[in-house]
Structure 1
Amino acid sequence: MIEVIYIVRHAFRANWTVDPQTGIYTASLAKTPTGIPTDPPLTSKGVEQSKELAEHLCNIEPPIERVYSSPFYRCLQTLKPTTDRLFLEGKAKGKIRIDRGVGEFFGRAPWEHPTPPDIKILSPLFKNLDQEYASVYMPASNGEMIVELHERVRNALDHIVTTLDSDPEQPKTVLICSHAATIIAAGRVLTGQMPEDPDEDDFQCFTAGLSKYVRKSSDPNKGVAGNWDCELNSDTSYLSGGAERGWHFNGDESFVAFPDAPAEGKEIPKL
């Protein structure tokens, strides 16, 4: 069974803007690698962070046996120095599984947010992507409320862990590369520690920061939610720049339509 979940945030990326009246996104670069404005690459600083991260992850104990990623370019670019080394050494199954369930969070809006790149767009840009794996849980095209984000992440993590638990090779560890809001939600789901105020600054998500969750019970009937202890909360001790670009739910990184209180009769889930 999976005993350890490593979760890393993508390294420092280029930016984009959105017009909150029209929903039109504009990348800070003339063109992103995938042609999608919300899919920028890493900055030069982010590239250096990804190399420092790789040096740490390739020597981590217990070692990484499986790799999952958000579909966005910045996550795969962050993973590349790590997976290039691991796969060359015949480790981590030699494949990255793209899962939209651990993808970016966009707040509920009256327009459709840009769709992340699919496997056909990504395959010419990155080697070693699992062509057979398919996402099961995905965010709505017009964004999510906070409660919906947590529910999506809970379902995605349950699917990932259940899939790996039934893997005949019985991997013990998995690495997931994701985004700030998704990582915060993942920490709350895995530990079962859901604050009354979703804006609380609890689980950290620094760029290229690493979190580690250890399974408390091997009983499969216990499910994912609340069955993990957090041993590392976005560790950045291996980064020369330390902890940078922390984030919490206040909408300062991109357009996010937050309710002042739970809307549409929904309550923040108690995980």
Structure 2
Amino acid sequence: MIEVVYVIRHAFRSNWSVNPQTGEYSSSTKNPTGIPTDPPLASYGVEQARELADYLCTIDPPVDRIYSSPFYRCLQTLKPTTDRLFAEGKAGGKIRVDRGIGEFFGIAHFEHPTPPDLKILAPFFTNLDHDHSSTHIPHSRGERILELHDRVNRALETIITSLDEDPEQPKALLICTHAATMIAIGRALTGKMPEDPDEDDFQCYTASLSRFQRNKKGGKQVIGNWDCVLNSETGYLSGGAERGWKFNGEESFVSFAEPEPEPLVEDRESPKL
């Protein structure tokens, strides 16, 4: 069974913005994938990714499997680590890109940009698992905060259960994701969902690492069966803890006066990313 889950947030990224009235996204830099919500890391983030790699390549237990959000900045954050681990025949040799652990966009009256698929990402990252398909897909018009948590719960259940059944019996899983999703992962694994989702509990600094240890008394149970033993560790980063984030209840682009939209979380077998 998976015994340890490592969760990292991508490193310091370049900026993008959205006009909440029109739903038009724009980016301050040229994005490799051409998607405005998919900026690369800033130069400072590139250095953070290198420092993170020095830590991840010596961590115990060592990483056996790697899953990532589909956004460029997450895969770019992983690259210094995966280049080293895969060259040594470690960590399964492939990154599984999964939209279930992808970015959180607040519910909107417009469609958010779709993240890049594997055809777009493949020229930049050579070690992607083309046999893996995402099952838990956020709606194109975004999610409410509780819907994000539900999506993350379902995705983790699927991911960890599949690894528990892997004949190679991996022990340690590494996930690279985003701020809101990192918080939701901590709540799902520990089962500690606060009454107020805005509560400041699990941290998510750039290029930070959280570690969750499985409670063996719970057997193969996934949700709520883990202890948080590191909460957004940054001791290996020369700049320390930076760019923390928390829910503030204002993530929605839809006012309460507008009609209630249809349910937004969709579980389905999707084409490969």
Query: Which runs of 5 or more structure 2 residues have no equivalent in the other structure?
Result: 261-273
Is the contact between residue 139 and residue 152 of structure 1 (CA under 8 Å) also seen in structure 2? yes
Q: CA deviation at 1:214?
A: 0.5
Q: What is the letter of the counterpart of residue 58 of structure 2? A: N
Q: What is the letter of the counterpart of residue 202 of structure 1? A: D
1:111 aligns with 2:92: no
Is the contact between residue 145 and residue 258 of structure 1 (CA under 8 Å) also seen in structure 2? no
1:233 aligns with 2:263: no
**Who is 2:12 aligned against?**
12
Q: What is the CA–CA distance in structure 2 between the aligned matches of 1:259 and 1:183, rounded to whole Å? A: 26
Is the contact between residue 212 and residue 230 of structure 1 (CA under 8 Å) also seen in structure 2? yes
Distance 1:203 1:228, change over 3 A: same
**Who is 1:169 aligned against?**
168
Q: CA deviation at 1:257?
A: 3.5
Is the contact between residue 68 and residue 96 of structure 2 (CA under 8 Å) also seen in structure 1? yes
5 Å-filtered alignment, 1:61-140, equals 61-140=60-139
Is the contact between residue 109 and residue 254 of structure 2 (CA under 8 Å) also seen in structure 1? no
Structure 1 segments of 4 or more deviating over 6 A?
Answer: none
**Who is 1:55 aligned against?**
54
**Who is 1:269 aligned against?**
none
**Who is 2:26 aligned against?**
26
Q: Deviations over 1:192-214 (max 9, x none)?
A: 11111111110000000000000
The percentage of aligned residue pairs carrying the same residue is: 67
Q: What is the CA–CA distance in structure 1 between the aligned matches of 2:7 and 2:133, rounded to whole Å? A: 20
**Who is 1:216 aligned against?**
215
Q: What is the letter of the counterpart of residue 26 of structure 1? A: S
Query: Which runs of 5 or more structure 1 residues have no equivalent in the other structure?
Result: 265-271
Q: What is the CA–CA distance in structure 2 between the aligned matches of 1:79 and 1:218, rounded to whole Å? A: 32
Is the contact between residue 145 and residue 259 of structure 1 (CA under 8 Å) also seen in structure 2? no
Q: Deviations over 1:118-173 (max 9, x none)?
A: 01100111011001000010111000001100000000000110110010000000
Distance 1:132 1:155, change over 3 A: same
Is the contact between residue 20 and residue 253 of structure 2 (CA under 8 Å) also seen in structure 1? no
5 Å-filtered alignment, 1:135-150, equals 135-150=134-149
Distance 1:228 1:101, change over 3 A: same
Is the contact between residue 113 and residue 142 of structure 1 (CA under 8 Å) also seen in structure 2? yes
Q: What is the CA–CA distance in structure 1 between the aligned matches of 2:197 and 2:81, rounded to whole Å? A: 32
